[in-house]
Structure 1
Amino acid sequence: MINRELYMSRIRPFIGLDIIKVLTGLRRSGKSVMLELIKEELLRQGVTSAQFLSFNFEDMNNIPYCTAEALHDEIKKRVSAVDGKSYLFFDEIQEVRDWERCINSLRIELECDIYITGSNAKLLSGELATYLAGRYVEFVIYPFSYREFLMLYREIYPEATEQKVFSSYLTLGGMPYLSNLRFEAEPCRQYLTDIYNSVVLKDVVKRNNIRDIDMLERIIAYISANVGNTFSANAISKYLKSEYRTVSTETILNYIKACEEAFLLYRVRRQDLQGKKILTVNEKYYLADHGIREAIFGENLKDINLILENIVYMELLRRGYQVTVGKSGEREVDFIGTRQKEKLYIQVSYLLASDDTISREFGVYDLIRDNYPKYVVSMDEFDFGRNGIKHKNIREFLLMAEWN
């Protein structure tokens, strides 16, 4: 079990406090493992395992407790046998009907520390905001970064070169369980396909009462094929019409939103760097895990420039950046990352194979006059940095501790 210190460093200050810790993210991205890492941290702090009460609501043994009343009564009964403070862990809490009322009641009634996980962003909307306003903190758990993937891959194949590891990362992605399959291509592909089907059926279709599953999958396929490209719902509608499927832009937007809420897709807005405003048309989308794209739709290596963008975007999210696409005149900067008072610009390219390519990738910064860090990231091994603009090989860039 890899120590995901990036997340533990954020969670640790809240351990033991009267505030509910909510771990969200894509199904199978490692939320359950994070609960185990939190337990290990508590044990190091002197808490005993007898103080832990854990429920995984994907386990059929816990079906009797999938209502607020039943879970509340069971917890009250079990806590009565605990000596001292109780530590409550609820995995995939969204399976419990009216769970918000139960969690809020437990927080008020008991001397306890509560941790919950869920696979849908709706977990933090609606009633939860009403019942628990100001009493919860959210941590989004993402699939493995390249650094985490490298660590596990090297445990199994210690002689693997970094180039070999990154090549595997490009096609397999970062879902944590892949190490149990020894990163072998066919078992990993099957596993990722099953994750995709589970997310679509359980977290998108079921939770949003979607009837036209074929249409949903066509929309996901279109977005997957166009990762990193700007397009609108109207563009998807026209494409589907050419496929003899008619659908309104409103339906398309609702389906995309459902995929975002399931943490399968991420939308990135465009920012006009001259006018300092957010543009509302032709946004970009990225996938939570590029390995799922390869398993379902293929061609990651053919579309390697798009996949590199996807990898960099997800790394920005892991590190806590808010991300937009920057429009500067007729040019676009792939990513603008902001975090507290920090800011940086990133342009992603496959290879700087010609003078024209170099001029294009570095030239996007010509109209940006501030002194924040500016990067061009590519697969090149040689440093093409110039005029204060940094150039990094993508492997090196992903392994850097800081980008300032």
Structure 2
Amino acid sequence: MEKIRKFIDKPIIKVLSGMRRAGKSTILLLIKDEVLNHVPDKNKIYLNFESIEFFTVNKAEALIEYLKPLIKDLTGKIYFFFDEIQFVENWEQVINGLRVDLDCDIYLTGSNSGLLSGDLASLLAGRYVEFEIQPFSFGEFIRCFDGKAVSREDLFSAFVKTGGMPFLKYFNLEEGPSFKYLNDVYNTVLVKDVLQYNSIRDVDIFNRILDYAMENIGHTFSANSIKNYFKNENRNVSADTVLNYLEYCSKAFIIKTVPRYDTAGKKVLKIDEKYYLTDHGFRQARGFSNTKDIERVLENIVYIELRSRGYEVTIGKVKDKEIDFIAKSENDVSYYQVAYNIGNESTREREFGVYKSIKDNFPKYVLSLDSMDFSQDGIIHKNLIDFLLEYGE
């Protein structure tokens, strides 16, 4: 909200993007009803295109006809709030027309990043700003349960399993209803924002590709490795199909593609990328154990946390070794290694040793769930839960 406030009443379109059910509509209504509470209600026009009321307002012409009587006699600035705008065909032309013809401030939400490509980019280049709405971080998750007699460690264990989709608050940490809800959201996102949106017919292959990516979060793999995996099961799937399906999932904000950065050559590598989930709770809901694969899930949590803090994040390649994350923001750079436990000396040597080849003076961290401080040689060791809770203090 603090980031968005800086753009309110500025002549630039505000686009709230992100996975379905991550909280975009709630933030849109907060802007409408609380931040802009001084504006007369008639000057605030809110349309939710998931509502039955707007099922027939699904083309640009229909949207224009719907809006005409609402804006005809209005004086003063008009505020438009369009929720899930991607359901309207050629919507970008309407938005551009409103921007040109009226004294207005426009807010949009959408659940597919294809929203910001093609015609929109051409029509509105330089005239919009995007905010990706993430599921709850652990800091936000823990505040949902203020007043409950539950330790932060137990809350973190729950967070590792269920993730941070906001609606989980209403299930009071009960795993059964939480996973049922996550499964339903997952299937809705797949059907509406991936399968239907991209006209995918081979649903079985698609599900198997996404399941492979979910099972292997934090592992380096290529489209060819998935292709070979299917070949061993006597299924022919091209590398292009794999890449296209993963790209569709990325555009629906289900997964994040993380490139590798060569610290020696100072360049981003487009091979052997890693994939993480926008919300790791879907992984457990799909039948993969987050506690069994705790190291990779902790990586996923840290990656999303860094993204939520506004960092551009890559994986670091240091000769034949790898740094989990390099986080950059303007002139700020920091390095992160993530581990479950570094009580063992050989594990500490591995996690700290990767930094020996990095000669700059930017902060270098090792994050783990250990309570003892193992900092050494200028490399900072932090308890992972402390790290997740420190932002915004």
TM (norm. structure 2) is 0.97
Partner of 2:198: 208
Are 2:174 and 1:149 aligned? no
Equivalent residue in structure 1 for 2:62, among 66, 70, 88: 70
Q: Deviations 1:220-278 (Å, cap 9, x if unpaired)?
A: 11111110010110111111111221101011001111111101011111111111122
| Matched residue SS, 1:154 | coil
Q: Which residue of 1 aligns with 2:348?
A: 358
Gaps of 5+ in 1: 1-7
Q: Is the aligned partner of 1:15 residue 2:8?
A: yes
| CA distance, structure 2, for counterparts of residue 185 and residue 150 of structure 1 | 16
Question: What is the alpha-carbon distance in structure 1 between the residues aligned to residue 265 and residue 9 of structure 2?
Answer: 45
1:294 maps to what in 2?
Answer: 284
Q: Does the 8 Å contact 1:43/1:49 carry over to 2? A: no
The structural deviation recorded for 1:353 is: 2.9
1:369 maps to 2:359: yes
Alignment check: 8 A CA contact 2:215 2:288 kept: no
Cα distance in 1 between the residues matched to 2:263 and 2:181: 42
SS in 1 for 2:351: helix
- What amino acid is aligned across from residue 113 of structure 2 in structure 1? A
1:304-319 correspondence to structure 2 within 5 Å? 304-319=294-309
Partner of 1:87: 79
**Runs of 4+ more than 4 Å apart:** none
Once the two structures are TM-superposed, the CA of residue 67 in structure 1 deviates from its matched residue by 1.1
- Aligned residue number for residue 4 of structure 1: none
CA distance in 2, matches of 1:84, 1:329: 61
Counterpart in the other structure of 2:150 = 160
Equivalent residue in structure 1 for 2:100, among 73, 90, 108: 108
Asked whether 1:33 is paired with 2:39, we answer no
Say which of 244, 252, 268 aligns to 1:262.
252
- Does residue 225 of structure 2 align to residue 235 of structure 1? yes
Question: In structure 2, how many angstroms separate the alpha carbons of the residues matched to 1:359 and 1:184?
Answer: 39
Deviations 1:162-199 (A, max 9, x none): 11110110001000111122231111101100111111
Contact 1:154 1:160 in 2 (8 A): no
- Aligned 8 A contact 2:258 2:273 in 1: yes
CA distance in 2: counterparts of 1:112 and 1:79, whole angstroms: 11
- The answer as to whether partners of 1:336 and 1:346 remain within 8 angstroms in 2 is yes
Question: What is the rounded CA distance, in whole Å, between the counterparts of 1:339 and 1:346 in structure 2?
Answer: 14
Task: Give SS of 1:279's match.
Answer: strand
Q: Which amino acid aligns with 2:376?
A: R
1:342 deviates by: 0.5
Structural RMSD (CA): 1.3
Q: CA offset at residue 402 of structure 1? A: 7.0
Q: Deviations over 1:42-80 (max 9, x none)?
A: 335x22333211111111111122111111122221123
Q: Distance in 2 between matches of 1:148 and 1:191?
A: 19
Give the CA deviation at 1:84: 2.2
| Match among 375, 381, 385 for residue 371 of structure 2 | 381
Is 1:193–2:186 an aligned residue pair? Answer: no
> Is the Cα contact below 8 Å between 2:369 and 2:384 reproduced in 1?
yes
Is residue 135 of structure 1 aligned with residue 130 of structure 2? no
SS in 1 for 2:300: helix
Does the 8 Å CA contact 1:58/1:92 hold for their aligned counterparts? yes
**Matched letter for residue 15 of structure 2:** V
115-124 or 173-182, which deviates more? 173-182
- The more displaced of 302-311 and 176-185 is 176-185
1: CA distance between counterparts of 2:53 and 2:295? 46
Q: Is this contact kept in 2: 1:268–1:323, CA < 8 A?
A: yes
Deviations 1:262-312 (A, max 9, x none): 010111111111111222221100001001111013200000000000000
2:321 is aligned, of 318, 321, 331, to: 331
Gaps of 5+ in 2: none
Does the CA contact (< 8 Å) of 1:336 and 1:343 recur in 2? yes
Paired position in structure 2 for 1:273: 263
- Whole-Å Cα distance in 2 between the matches of residues 40 and 369 of structure 1? 51
| Number of residues of Structure 1 aligned to a counterpart in Structure 2 | 393
Letter in 2 for 1:386: Q
In percent, how many aligned pairs have the same letter? Answer: 49
Q: Deviations over 1:333-364 (max 9, x none)?
A: 00001011111000000101310000000001
Structure 2 equivalent of residue 42 of structure 1: 35
Q: Answer yes or no: is the 8 Å Cα contact 1:21–1:115 preserved in 2.
A: yes
Instruction: Please tell me the residue identity of whatever aligns with 1:66.
Output: N
| SS of residue matched to 1:208 | coil
